[in-house]
């Protein structure tokens, strides 16, 4: 009978080598080389720069505004948002009081040197003092405003906690700071305010719980910091009053009393 020759796969070790090798080496079975798993790095989230997100957000608002002009007032609150953005951009670094008088308006309210007849310079100084008081005392409800400028957090690029704080982004915030509180001060309390609009505004504020809004500065400031109800995006009552006053002066009678 023919026997098959079996060839061992175990490497030959001489008796002498076996005697000198460590015991673990003599008894350990042959091992298969270990293959280390390939390390796959976790993907790093890719984020859009803050200023680009801000541009996209404003473009979305403007597109919605255009769509509403064609399809009707299906969303008045979003229309408010588009109006707010367009008006704020229009009045950055401009003085509303000087605009009403036909003077050079290329300056912020607190740099205004208005010297009209009848003591108007004293009125503008009193208006500046009122504006500074509001700015120093207003306390915005959480997430309704970026405190330094007063703009809604979703509009001011520095309201985003991922903001890159570039010089361009900071300059945008500084520009917004020249608008909301100064404009409300000038339109509602300034020397060029319209008596009829101001009276309607006081009536509106009284209907919203502000007692004696003409003289009750503390109550008015507290109201300014509250969150405006019924808004898809969080906004302060100060923002709502800016929108109302701008529409009133702009001849847009969509501000419901």
How confident is residue 183, by pLDDT bands cut at 50, 70 and 90? Answer: very high
* Backbone phi, psi, residue 227, to 5°: -75, 135
Q: How confident is the model at residue 34 (pLDDT cuts 50, 70, 90)?
A: low
C-alpha torsion sign, points 220, 222, 227, 230: negative
pTM of the model: 0.67
Q: Taking the chain, what is the end-to-end CA distance rounded to the nearest angstrom?
A: 115
For residue 249, the tally of other CB atoms under 10 A from its CB is 15
* pLDDT tens by residue, 215-225: 999 999 999 99
pLDDT tens for 202-248 read 999 999 999 999 999 999 999 999 999 977 778 999 999 999 999 99
The domain locations on the chain are 80-144+179-249
Quote the mean pLDDT of the chain. 76
Q: Classify residue 226 as left (phi > 0), alpha (psi -120 to 50) or beta.
A: beta
- How high is the pLDDT of residue 158? 82
Q: What digits encode the pLDDT tens for the residues 53-101?
A: 445 445 544 544 443 443 344 445 558 889 999 999 999 999 999 999 8
Residues 120-126 have a mean pLDDT of 85
């Amino acid at each position: 009978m023919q026997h098959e020759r079996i060839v061992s796969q175990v490497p030959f070790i001489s008796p002498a080598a076996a005697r000198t090798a460590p015991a673990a080496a003599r008894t350990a079975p042959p091992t298969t080389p270990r293959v280390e798993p390939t390390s796959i790095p976790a993907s790093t989230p890719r984020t859009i720069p803050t200023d680009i997100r801000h541009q996209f957000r404003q473009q979305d608002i403007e597109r919605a505004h255009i769509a509403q002009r064609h399809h009707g007032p299906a969303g008045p609150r979003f229309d408010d948002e588009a109006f707010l953005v367009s008006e704020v951009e229009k009045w950055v670094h401009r003085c509303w009081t000087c605009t009403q008088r036909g003077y050079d308006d290329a300056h912020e309210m607190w740099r205004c040197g208005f010297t009209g007849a009848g003591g108007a310079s004293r009125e503008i100084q009193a208006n500046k003092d009122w504006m500074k008081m509001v700015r120093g005392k207003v306390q915005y409800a959480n997430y309704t405003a970026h405190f330094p400028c007063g703009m809604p957090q979703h509009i001011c690029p520095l309201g985003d906690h991922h903001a890159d704080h570039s010089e361009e982004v900071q300059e945008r915030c500084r520009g917004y700071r020249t608008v909301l509180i100064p404009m409300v001060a000038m339109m509602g309390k300034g020397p060029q305010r319209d008596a009829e609009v101001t009276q309607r505004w006081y009536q509106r504020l009284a209907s919203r719980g502000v007692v004696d809004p003409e003289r009750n500065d503390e109550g008015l400031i507290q109201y300014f910091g509250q969150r405006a109800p019924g808004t898809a995006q969080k906004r302060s009552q100060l923002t709502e009053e800016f929108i109302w006053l701008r529409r009133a002066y702009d001849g847009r009678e969509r501000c419901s009393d």
